[in-house]
Amino acid sequence: MFPLKDTVPSRSFPLVNWLLIGTNVFVFLTLAGDPFQAAPWVSLLALVPRRLLLHWNNPYEYLTLITSLFMHGGWAHLISNLLALYIFGDNVEDRMGSMPYLFFYLTCGVVASLVHVAFNATSAVPTVGASGAISGVLAAYLLLYPTARVITFIPLFFLPWLVEIPAVFYLGIWFVSQLSNGLLATVTGVQTLGGVAWWAHVGGFVAGLFLTPGLSLRRYAPRRYPDEYYPW
């Protein structure tokens, strides 16, 4: 299943969300444009659990909890993350406000990184990606827009389907899959099963569930549209 869009129109321009998307794209293209320098930068700025714990008294190491959020391992990694941020992030920023949303995004990312470190303390593999922070955004969307639907592309044999899936169902299935893969990775002893930091996703999602109710949320009067499926 590939999400394409949600059915909730944003009432304000999502400035921070677009800045986050743009920053991720800029960092990726900068590193991709100079492959010889990419490896040293990844080694320097990526989160390495073992290194963080060994050098816990070095303040610089804690910066990698944030810098790693803006780096990606390839086009598929980048596009899948930013597509989710594009679909769900604008609505969350719309309800939280720009600066609270930025705080929320970075906090979820840091918590996700710390959870990853806790479950992979001996790993020397550099970890990159915005998925931990975006997991928090998904949790916020689930709480703020429980009746929304996600326009989803389903490649069924040779007949592509566009289906409206309830956000509660879509995000619930997503979280269960992350949790089950995380448990499987722990049981099997494989630190990043399939090359994915599953526990970072779980940690970011749970952080989003806890942080969202405590933020000052904008209140809007309900809108009425002639077409109940607006804007589709």
Domain ranges of the chain: 2-214
Work out the mean pLDDT of the chain and round it to a whole number.
86
Of 8-22, 32-46, 189-203, the one with minimum mean pLDDT is: 189-203
What CA–CA distance (Å, rounded) separates 161 from 74? 27
Helix, strand counts (H, E) of the chain: 9, 3
What CA–CA distance (Å, rounded) separates 131 from 81? 6
**Pick among 1.20.1540.10, 3.20.20.140, 2.60.40.10, 3.90.1010.10: CATH of 2-214:** 1.20.1540.10
One-letter identity of residue 2: F
Of 5-14, 32-41, 46-55, 89-98, the one with minimum mean pLDDT is: 32-41
Q: Percentage of residues in the chain with pLDDT exceeding 90?
A: 50
pLDDT value of position 192: 54
Q: How confident is the model at residue 227 (pLDDT cuts 50, 70, 90)?
A: very low
Residue 1 pLDDT exceeds 80: no
pLDDT value of position 189: 63
Residue 160 pLDDT exceeds 80: no
Q: How confident is the model at residue 232 (pLDDT cuts 50, 70, 90)?
A: very low
The answer to whether the predicted template modeling score (pTM) of the entire model surpasses 0.75 is: yes
C-alpha distance across the termini of the chain, in Å: 19
Q: Percentage of residues in the chain with pLDDT exceeding 70?
A: 88
Distances (CA, A) of 149 to 20, 64, 68, 172, 230: 24, 35, 31, 13, 11
pLDDT value of position 29: 93
